[in-house]
Structure formats: C-alpha cells, structure tokens
Structure 1
Amino acid sequence: MSDQRLWRYLAENASGEIERGEILATGSAQAMQLLAARGVVAVEVTELATAGRSRTGGRLTTAQVADFTEDLAELLGAALPIHEALASLAEGAGKRTLREFILRLEASVRSGRALSEAMKSDPARPPRTLVAMTAAGEESGQLAATLSDLALKLRADQALRRDLAGQLAYPAVLVCFIYLTLVFLAFFVLPQFETVFADAVVEPPPETRFVIAAGGFLRSYAIWIPVGIVGLVWLARVILARIPILASRIRRAVPIVGPALWRLDAAAYARTLGVLVRAGLPVNRAESVARDVVGDPGMRNGMSRAADRIRAGIALSSALDEQNILPDDLIRQVRLGEETGDLDKFLLRTADRYERMARTRLSRALELLGPVLVAILGACVAGVIASVMSGVLSLNDAVF
C-alpha cells in the first residue's frame, strides 16, 4: 500500500443522498471501484495528498492511539461492522496522520484482511500492545471489550504522564529563573564592582575573587552552558544505553525518585500483561508485548531472559523471580494469580497499587524540590552580595 494516495470524493448513495469523504486508492479508477463496492456512485474524485506525507512522518502519537482505541471500542460495542466503524472514525478524524491510518485500515479490512494484520503491516507502526490486543479480541470474539480495556489503560497512562509533567513544570521554571538571575548578576551587577577592585591597591578577599571569576565565566559562556548541559545529558543517555545493567542500578540508587520509577515500570508491565491475559492471550505471547512498555533497559534484559525460561516450561513467577528485577510483592501476586487462575486480576490490582504509591512518592519529592530550589536561589543571591560587600569592606579597612 505504499503507492496509495488520498482522494476526496463526492458520491451519491442508493437513496439519492450526496456523500462527501476521503478514500485511499492507487488511482481514481480504483477509488471509484472501492466506492462502488460500498454501494455509492462516485460523482467526482479528486486527489488530495499522497498517503503518509503527514507532518508527523506518519507515526501516531500516544493521544491519537488512545482516541482511536476508545472510539473504535465504542462503535464496535454498538454492534457496528468493523469497516463501517472505521469509515465513521475516518470522517471524524481531525489529524491527517490519524485519518490516513484509519483509511488504510478500512481499505485492508474491506479487502478481507483481519484488523490486527492490517495494523501490523501499517506504515504508521501502531504500538505492539494495540496490535496484540486487537488480535486477542479477534481470537476471542470480544474485540469491543478488549479494546475498551486497552483504552482504559491508555487513558490511565496519559493521566499519569500528564500529572507528572504538570508537577515538573514548577521546578523547571525555578531552575531557569535561578540561571537567569545568575546571568543578570554576572552581566549587570558584578561589572560595576570589578572596576573598583581592579583599581584598588589591596587584593580583595578569596570569596570576592571567586565571585568575580565566576561572573566573568558566565559572561563568556552563558549561551553555551545550557547547550553543554543538554549535550552531557544526551551523552550520558547514550553511554548508559550501552551498559543497561549499570544504568538500571544507577537509576534505582537515586533517592526517592529511583524506587518510584522502578515501581512505575513494574506497574506498566503488570498492567499491560494483565490486560493481555484478560483478553485471552497466552502468557508467553502477552509477556513479550508487555516487555515493550518497560522503560528500564536492565529490567527489559532480565525479562528477556525470563521469557526464555517461560518457553522452557518454567512458570512466569519463577522465571521472573530468578532474575531479581521486579519487587518481591509483585512476584508473590503473580504466583497467587497462577495458583488461583486469576492472574489478570492480581496483576491489575498490583498495578493500581504501584501507580498510587509511585505517584505519591514522586509528588512529595517534587513538592519538596520547589522550596529547595527557592533556597538555592536565595543562597546564590545572598552569596554574591555577601562576597561583594566583603570585598568593599576590605577596601575600607585598607584605606582607614
């Protein structure tokens, strides 16, 4: 479907009503044939754009995936056929990327392919979780319920990320304000005193010399310091990506934040695995998909080794316990779920608890970070003023 293009059509249906919309086809003739297969007669077909040439490069955002999943689940729950549900979603899609994705799926489904197969080969590359959940829903005959469960998970993930991003905004603004304050002092305040100390016979005290040197450094490299910090962060990520085990240990060693992020990864794994198992997917297939949502590379490597043990016939709880990558209480819940046959319920309940715990810890850490940054700002300004005044007093002592 790489040569398909997007066509805008004007057509007349069996009742004589005029329909307008968009359709994917390799040419105008195929567009008319596809419209005829729907039971409408094309009046006008005009090429709109080449499919896939959207501003986002054809990739779907997390919000678009969540919207699509939720809306499709609702339409399928209303007993609408898949191709009609997709056609309806395409008409209401606001973003071109999402609209083209839905139109490609609709064309594939009308040609006789399964929805999951169409998703798997689509150039928009939807998340593996969506593809796996769709396949599980098709196998079980409960596609609407399966997609509804996935939509709830995606919305919960969105809400969590939105909350954390909102809480990070205030500390980020404070960090920028601290830097801008130091730049202001370096450019507009310290130069007035540097001329005084330069003409003085007596050398200023060490703290004054340090502040003056720091001000000169900021004036020379103020623009490049943020660039250097971003570069160092990028370099650190590249290096740590090559040593995932060490990266995981460093990440977990960060006070408060490390354990909270570890539990968030464990919660994401447990929730995805629980949703897939509830949809009827076998544990070995569900585990390979759930592994993709984990951000910790060391944890993913451990899960890959555990997957090999699962394929060898070892129980999920035992395989994960051998790797020592997940919290002990999560392993216990998995074992209880395997023993009772309610693995999905135990996993989802544990994921809810972990998310609440992690959100609480991160919120407290971010709430504490604000006053700490304000104190740092005050200490920087007070330190500059105290150092300058110390130098001025040293000049007075030399004179008198």
Structure 2
Amino acid sequence: MPAFSYQALDSNGKTQRGVLQGDTARAVRGNLRERGLNPLVVEEVREGSAPGTQPLLRRRGLGGAQLALLTRQLSTLVGAGLPIDEALGALSEQAENERQRGLTMSLRARVMEGASLAQAMAEFPDSFPEIFRASVAAGEQSGRLAQVLEKLADHAEARDALGQKILAALAYPLLLAIVAVAVVAGLLTWVVPQIVGVFQNLHQALPLATRALIALSAFLRAWGWLLVLVLLAVLVLARLALRSEATRWRWHAVLLRLPLVGRLVRAANTARATRTLALLSSSAVPLLDALAIAAQVVSNLPMRDALKRAALKVREGSAFSRALGESGQFPPVALRLIASGERSGQLPRMLEEAAAQQQRELDRWLTALTAVLGPAVILVVGAIVLFIVLAILLPIFNLNQMVK
C-alpha cells in the first residue's frame, strides 16, 4: 500500500500532520475520520511533487548525514536477516521526522507491491543518487545487499565529511573577512568623519594620507549604497552567467589553473570519482556503467568531460589508467595507483587507496589554506586600521609642531 501524508484538524482545532498507509486517499481519509480527525489534505508521498501543502518530500531530498544514517541502519537490519519490507517498517517506526518516515513507508509500500529495493529507490532520485540505485541493484542480484549497503553508508559518510571539512576550512576566513569589512566600513562612515572634521576647520594643509582618508570617507557616505548595489548586481550577473554550461566550463578551467585552489579542486574531485568507482566496482557494477555514474559526482566540468572521454576510450579497448592519463586532468599518483590495480587485478582496492591518498592531500592543503587565509585577513585589516590611525594622528603631530 502506498504512503500518504496528511494534514487534519483534531477536536481542539489544532493541525495534525503525519503519514499513513492506505490503498487510496479516500481510505486514508476514512481512517482519519475514525480517529476523530477532520482531514484537510491527503496526498500520496512522492518526491519531486510541486511545493504546496505537502511538507514531506519536496524537491529537496535527504541530506548527506541522514542518507548515511538511513543506509547504515538498513544495512544492519538486512545483515541481521530481516526481510527488506520488515527492515523498512522498523526504520519508519523509529524515523526522526515526518520526511524520513514518509520516505521509508513509501519504499516499504513499493517493495511489498513486488518492486526491488533499487526500483523503489528510483522513484526518489533526489534522496537516492544513481550510485545508490546502481549499487543496490547489483547487491540484490549478487546476494550481497547487506555488504553493499554498508559500503554505501561508508561512502555517504565520507562524502558528507569531505563537504563538512571544506566548509569548516573556509568558514573562519570568510567570517573574519565579513566582520573586517563591516568594521572598516563603520570606521570610515561614522567614526572618521567626526574626527577629521576638526582638522578641516583649522584651514591648514593636511597630509596626503589624511586627505585620502577624508575623500574615501566622503565617497562611502555619499555613494556607499551605490557600491553595495553594484556588488550585488555583479554577484547576480555572475550567478546568471554560470547557468550557461560553456561559461561554467571556462570558469572551472580557470579554477584548475589557480595555484592553491586548483590543487584543492583537483584533489576533491579525484577523491569523489575514485571512491565512487571503488564502491561500484566492488559492488560488481560494470566499469563502463561505473564511469558514467562517477562522472556525475565530479563537480568540475573539465574533469567530468575528461572522465567521459576516458569512458569512450575504455569502450574502444583502451586501459582505464591510460585513457584517464591522456586528459592530463587527474593527479599522476592516482593514475599510477589505478594502473597498478589494473595490472594486479585489484582495481577496487587500488581505487579506494587512490581516494584515500587524495583525501590526505586535500586535508593537507586545506590545513595550509586555513593557516594562510586567517592571518592574511588579519594582516590586511591591521594594515587598513594602521593607515586610518596614522591619517588621524599625522595632523595632530603637525599641529603640535606648529604650536612649539
């Protein structure tokens, strides 16, 4: 039976929300009335439905941590010998929120109707990426579903940890820069005019630094709003321009050529691709299918195109490591590990080793980036504040010399 999300009024006039299973929406409404509830909205739980009254499964799917936890729990239950429908039923009972409850109940309903778990997941593509569906399908065919689910949970946790690590590395310098800009803007807009206005009344020649500070302060007070609008317009136009794949491709190519950013982007995308390929290969997914899926997790467009071209060459009979190396987009160490895996027949293990190596490389560069950006922002702000202080103090020093 499919799952339906509902909104209903109880006897006190309060809105109740939840998920129920039933053959039809009418049956669910009857069930609600038997419970003393007045149904307002009853909709079948489907991912990607139009945003409206249904709050459960809109276009936003499960987050990385939620997906990892759900997969880990399902792996444990299936590994303990529970049928898939019973495992999904148990997960729906202990779901943390209505979104997860509706999702697991819908999966259970599809499985009980005769669909495989992979087919049920295919109806919720925003929650279960193609790598999950392909791996689960291979695990069901090979009888190794519990092991595949466990590897998928590891994969989801590693991917979520990678995103959190990158976010954490960039959050502190970005926050520091925002606070610094706000402080400097406040000084130039409100504090400086009240101080340097005294010097203008002296009708004396002011130092160059003081004149520059007064001009900058006057410009910000008069045209600061326009500067903010221009910056916002630039950001909006850049966002609109990046919707074009050609523009986005050129921008991604520029990122790869930047000294430090290029290493970070290359390492992060290589780690994602090789870890995905390792998971799919160990799940008995054919290499060509695995390459097509792995290309989707690569966010950098030149590297994604390189992976797609490598897949075409592999289809023509070329070795994977050689085809990947011809693009020049992937690190040589990862290519050597992949070539070693092809020669030894242990490609999944060496792909995992390549992913771990790139993860270590990414950690190292993120640490270096964090160590450089924080002090750099502080030094820049310190230099600006020093300039402001000197521009204010220089007329005072000149005035003391005139008095003497």
TM over 0.5: yes
1:224 deviates by 6.5
Change (3 A) 1:93 1:4: closer
> What's the CA shift for 1:242?
2.6
Q: Which residue of 1 aligns with 2:25?
A: 27
Which stretch shows the higher mean deviation, 278-287 or 385-394?
A: 385-394
User: How does 1:175-324 map onto structure 2 within 5 Å?
Assistant: 175-220=177-222, 228-229=230-231, 231-233=233-235, 235-236=237-238, 238-239=240-241, 241-324=245-328
Which residue does 2:55 correspond to in 1? 54
Q: Map residues 86-165 of structure 1 onto 2, 5 A cutoff.
A: 86-122=88-124, 124-165=126-167
SS at match of 1:256: helix
Instruction: Give 1:381's aligned amino acid.
Output: V
Query: Compared with structure 1, are the counterparts of its residues 348 and 152 closer, same or farther at alpha carbon in structure 2 (3 Å cutoff)?
Result: same
From 325, 331, 336, the counterpart of 2:335: 331
SS of aligned partner of 1:79: coil
Q: State the secondary structure of the residue aligned to 2:203.
A: coil
Is the partner of 1:326 in helix, strand or coil?
coil
Q: Distance in 2 between matches of 1:274 and 1:377?
A: 46
**Pairwise CA distance, 1:216:** 2.6
Q: Is the 8 A contact 2:291 2:308 kept in 1?
A: no
Counterpart CA distance in 2 for 1:169 and 1:263 is 19
Is 70-79 or 386-395 further displaced after alignment? 386-395
Change in 2 beyond 3 A, CA 1:377/1:90:
same
Report the Cα offset of residue 155 of structure 1: 1.0
Quick one: structure 1 residues 247 and 170, their matched pair in 2 at CA, closer, same or farther if it must change by over 3 Å?
A: same
Q: Which amino acid aligns with 2:166?
A: L
Question: 2:15 maps to what in 1?
Answer: none
Query: 3-state DSSP class of the match of 2:285?
Result: coil
Structure 2 portions without partners, runs of 5+? 8-17, 47-53
Corresponding residue number in structure 2 for 1:15: none
Further displaced range: 225-234 or 109-118:
225-234
Summarize the Cα distance change of 1:136–1:363 in structure 2 as closer, same or farther, 3 Å threshold: same
For 2:259, what is the secondary structure of its paired residue?
coil
CA contact under 8 A between 1:87 and 1:103: conserved in structure 2? yes
Partner of 2:176: 174
Structure 1 residue 345, shift from structure 2 partner: 0.3
Task: Tell me the distance in 2 between the aligned counterparts of 1:122 and 1:182.
Answer: 48
Bigger Cα displacement from structure 2, 372-381 vs 58-67:
58-67
**Whole-angstrom CA distance in 2 between matches of 1:168 and 1:294:** 20
Name the Cα RMSD after superposition.
Answer: 3.1
Alignment-derived partner of residue 14 in structure 1: none
Candidates 63, 80, 83, aligned match of 2:82: 80
Query: Which residue among 363, 386, 390 is the counterpart of 2:390?
Result: 386
Paired AA for residue 248 in structure 1: H
Q: Which residue of 1 aligns with 2:4?
A: 5
Q: 181-190 or 266-275: which moved more?
A: 181-190
1:78 alignment partner AA: A
Distance 1:7 1:371, change over 3 A: closer
* Gap regions ≥5 residues in structure 1: 9-19, 36-42
Paired residues of 1:59 and 1:97 also in contact (CA < 8 A)? no
Q: Contact conserved, 1:333 with 1:350, CA < 8 A, in 2?
A: yes
- In the alignment, the residues of structure 1 paired with residue 246 and residue 22 of structure 2 have an alpha-carbon distance, to the nearest angstrom, of 42
How many positions carry a matched residue from both structures? Answer: 380
What TM-score do you get using the length of structure 2 for normalisation? 0.84
Q: Which amino acid in 1 is paired with 2:372?
A: L
Aligned residue for 1:243, secondary structure, equals: helix
Please, which moves more after superposition, 202-211 or 371-380?
A: 202-211
1:270/1:350 contact within 8 Å kept:
yes
- What secondary structure sits across from 2:382 in the alignment? helix
CA distance in 2, matches of 1:279, 1:226: 52
Range moving further from structure 2, 325-334 or 146-155: 325-334
Structure 1, residues 167-188: CA drift from partner, whole Å, max 9, x if none? 3332223212211221221233
Task: Describe the shift of the 1:119–1:224 C-alpha distance in structure 2 as closer, same or farther (beyond 3 A).
Answer: farther
Pair 92,220 (structure 1): closer, same or farther in 2 beyond 3 Å: farther
What percentage of residue pairs aligned between the two structures are identical?
A: 30
Task: Select 1:71's aligned residue among 65, 73, 97.
Answer: 73
Native 8 Å contact 1:6 1:25 kept in 2: no
**Are the counterparts in 1 of residues 334 and 358 from structure 2 also a CA contact under 8 Å?**
no
Q: Secondary structure at the match of 1:319?
A: helix
Task: Tell me, yes or no, if the aligned pair for 1:133 and 1:279 is still in contact at 8 Å.
Answer: yes
What CA distance in whole angstroms lies between the structure 1 residues aligned with 2:238 and 2:59? 30
CA distance in 2, matches of 1:387, 1:88: 70
